[in-house]
Copies of this chain bind each other. A is one copy, B any other.
Amino acid sequence: MKIKVYRDLMGANDLWANKTRALLARKKVKMLNLIGSPGAGKTALLEQTVKELSHKFRVGRDSLSRRGRTGLCGPASLKFPDIKLAVLEGDLETRNDAERLARLHCRVSQLLTGGGCHLEAKMVHYAVRDLPLGKLDLVVVENVGNLVCPAEFDIGEHAKAVVLSVTEGEDKPLKYPLIFREAKAIVISKIDLLPHVPFDLKKCLSFIRKINPHAPVFQVSALTGRGMNAWTDWLALLGAPG
C-alpha cells in the first residue's frame, strides 16, 4: 500500500533547492546567494561588479549590441575563462533593482515575494529554468533585504555571500551569526564612508573571525570601486568551470 507523505515547508523548500542544484550541475552553471540587510548595498555591489568585469575582461561585442534584452553580462576573460553572468533580483515589491542592472545590459529577472521575507526555492527554480543556462557560467541571486530569514532557506546555491555595510555597526556578525557562519565570502561594503561613521573595522574583522574563521573578507566601495578587484576575482573563480 502506498503511504501518503506530507512534507513541512522546509522539506518542500529543500526538494526544490535540490532540483535546482541538479539542473545547474547538468548545465555546469554555478549559483551564488547574496544576502544582506535592506540598504547594505547589494545592488550597488552588483552594478559595480558588472562594470568591473567589463573593464577586467574583454567585453563581448555581441552581448552589448543586443542592448541588454538578450545580452549576457560577463565578457570573455583574459585571466579566467569567459564568465557569463545572470542576476536574479529578489524583492518584496518594485522592479527598481532589476531595472538598475538591466541598464548595464545585464541579463536580469525580478523575483517578487509580495511581502515574503526570503526567496523560496520553488520560485528561484522556475526563474533559473527560464534562463538560457547553456550560455551562462554563473547566476547571482540577490536575496530579499534581510539578514535573518534568507540564511535559513536553501535555494540550491553553491555558495552564500553576505554583505555588511560599515554604516550598520561592527557588532552585526555577533548579532546575526547564522549568515556569517554560512557565508563562503563576506563583503564589507561602503568603506568610503569609514571616515564618517563610528565603525571599528578591526573589531568587526575579529568578530567575523570568531564566527567564521576561513571565509575571505572583501572590503569594498561600490561608489569608488576600491576593493572590487579581489571580489570580482573571487566571483570569477566561483563561476569558472570544473
Contacts and interface: CB of A to CB of B under 8 A. Distances in A.
Interface SS of chain A: helix, strand, loop or mixed? loop
Interface residues of A, number: 35
A145 B171 CA distance: 12
Interface string A77-119: 0000000000000011110100000000000000000011100
B96 A174 contact: yes
Contacts of A115: 148, 178
A145 B37 contact: yes
A35 B175 CA distance: 16
A146 interface: yes
13 contacts: A37-B145, A38-B172, A38-B176, A91-B175, A92-B175, A92-B176, A92-B177, A115-B148, A117-B148, A145-B175, A145-B176, A167-B190, A193-B193
Interface of A: 37-39, 91-94, 96, 115-117, 144-149, 165, 167-169, 171-172, 174-178, 190, 192-193, 196-198, 223
